[in-house]
Amino acid sequence: MSGPAAPLYLDDLASGQRFETGERALTEAEIIAFARQWDPQYFHTDPEAARASPYDGLIASGFHTLLTAFVLSLETDVWRAASMGSPGMAEIAWLRPVRPGDRLRCVFEVLSVTPSRSRPDRGRAEIAYQVLNQAGERVMRYRATHILRRRPEEG
Amino acid sequence: MSGPAAPLYLDDLASGQRFETGERALTEAEIIAFARQWDPQYFHTDPEAARASPYDGLIASGFHTLLTAFVLSLETDVWRAASMGSPGMAEIAWLRPVRPGDRLRCVFEVLSVTPSRSRPDRGRAEIAYQVLNQAGERVMRYRATHILRRRPEEG
């Protein structure tokens, strides 16, 4: 399933729903630029030195992978319109290196939907994300909690 | 305790050690620029619209807070020299909004140190991070697993 045609609210999501994002490639220049700013470790910033690293070549910062997945999931519009932010994430795992030229996409599944008891305008959706490369291999997974607006009652 | 004088290896870390980073302020321009690229939600990118949001004003993307804390912790040199990357993070919680002008710093504590049984050159350190603002309030916490090189035997 791809993104929705109309803005979704918490009420439109249900446990078990699955969504798929578009795809984005990470170039060597992007990997290095990101890492210089946010994760300046040599195996993310220096292709030459990275060849002598445990990764045998340059790899993307795990944060670069995470943020790419996050933007791709935002762009599906599944939860963008209803989003009121997030209290947290869990179980972030980097499973395989992401290398220059790799094309990432994301599949995500709604784990639970819980209306707030104290605030009737919102609730929580727990979503499990998997990030895949162009070979269909899982490179990362994480879970996120989203605070989402409920559909306003018609008055 | 601040950062070390000499490069550290896994062997130099022990459960219970605490470290403290320097401080970094997030300007409104930085918050907006980061969010436009990596978290384009209106309460991170549009000061005017953000005033009508649940946050009553612009707040930094939680990822901006996370990456700022990560860079600050890297800059202590506690684990930079020994770092061989990370398999994952856990229990990321955003506890309070971060607003333009807030100054962030980070305290972190070693939870456990586990030499690898299969690879004698490395091991895992589990570290708990807390991100504080200029008032000493906790704005975020997370745990990270670091793969760190062991001190080479002298030959």
Q: What is the mean pLDDT of residues B69-95?
A: 95
Q: How confident is the model at residue A36 (pLDDT cuts 50, 70, 90)?
A: very high
> Which chain B residues are Cβ-neighbours of A45 within 8 angstroms?
none
Q: What is the mean pLDDT of residues B124-132?
A: 98
Check residue B25 and give its pLDDT: 98
Is this model's pTM higher than 0.90 or not? yes
Chain B interface mutation, best of A84, A92, A143, highest count of B Cβ atoms under 10 Å: A92
Q: Smallest CA–CA separation between B63 and chain A, in Å?
A: 8
Check residue A152 and give its pLDDT: 86
**Partners of B142 in beta bridges:** B129
Round to whole Å and give the CA distance between A12 and A33: 38
Q: How confident is the model at residue A2 (pLDDT cuts 50, 70, 90)?
A: low
Q: For residue A143, report the phi and psi dihedrals to the nearest 5 degrees.
A: -115, 145
Round to whole Å and give the CA distance between B59 and B17: 32
pLDDT digits (tens, 9 = 90+) for A43-68: 999 999 999 988 999 999 999 999 99
Chain B interface mutation, best of A24, A26, A38, A140, highest count of B Cβ atoms under 10 Å: A38
Q: Contact, B85 vs B113, CB < 8 A? A: no
Q: How confident is the model at residue A40 (pLDDT cuts 50, 70, 90)?
A: very high
Using the predicted structure, report yes or no on whether residue B1 has a pLDDT greater than 90. no
A35: Cβ–Cβ under 8 A, 6 or more apart, which residues? A41, A44, A45, A60, A61, A64
Prediction ipTM score: 0.94
* Alpha carbon distance, N-terminus to C-terminus of chain B: 32
Chain B interface mutation, best of A31, A42, A53, A63, highest count of B Cβ atoms under 10 Å: A63
Q: What is the mean pLDDT of residues A92-97?
A: 98
Q: Contact, B1 vs B18, CB < 8 A? A: yes
For residue A87, give the nearest of B59, B89, B94 by CB distance: B94
DSSP A83: B
Which residues on chain A place their C-beta less than 8 Å from a C-beta of chain B? 38-41, 43, 53-55, 59, 62-63, 66-67, 70-71, 74, 80, 83-94
pLDDT digits (tens, 9 = 90+) for B15-37: 999 999 999 999 999 999 999 99
Q: What is the mean pLDDT of residues B90-110?
A: 98
Alpha-helical runs (H) found in chain B: 28-38, 42-45, 47-50, 62-75
Check residue B152 and give its pLDDT: 86
Q: What is the mean pLDDT of residues A132-147?
A: 98
Q: Smallest CA–CA separation between A31 and chain B, in Å?
A: 14
Q: What percent of chain A has pLDDT over 70?
A: 95
A71 vs B43: CB contact, 8 Å cut-off? no
B91 vs A90: CB contact, 8 Å cut-off? yes
Check residue B54 and give its pLDDT: 87
Check residue A153 and give its pLDDT: 79
Q: What is the mean pLDDT of residues B109-136?
A: 97
Q: What percent of chain B has pLDDT over 70?
A: 95
Q: What is the mean pLDDT of residues B91-116?
A: 98
Round to whole Å and give the CA distance between A2 and A77: 10
H or E segment to which residue A35 belongs: helix A28-38
* Mean per-residue pLDDT over chain B, rounded: 94
Using the predicted structure, report yes or no on whether residue A87 has a pLDDT greater than 90. yes
Q: Contact, B131 vs B106, CB < 8 A? A: yes
For residue B88, give the nearest of A40, A53, A93 by CB distance: A93
* Alpha carbon distance, N-terminus to C-terminus of chain A: 32
Q: What is the mean pLDDT of residues A94-106?
A: 98
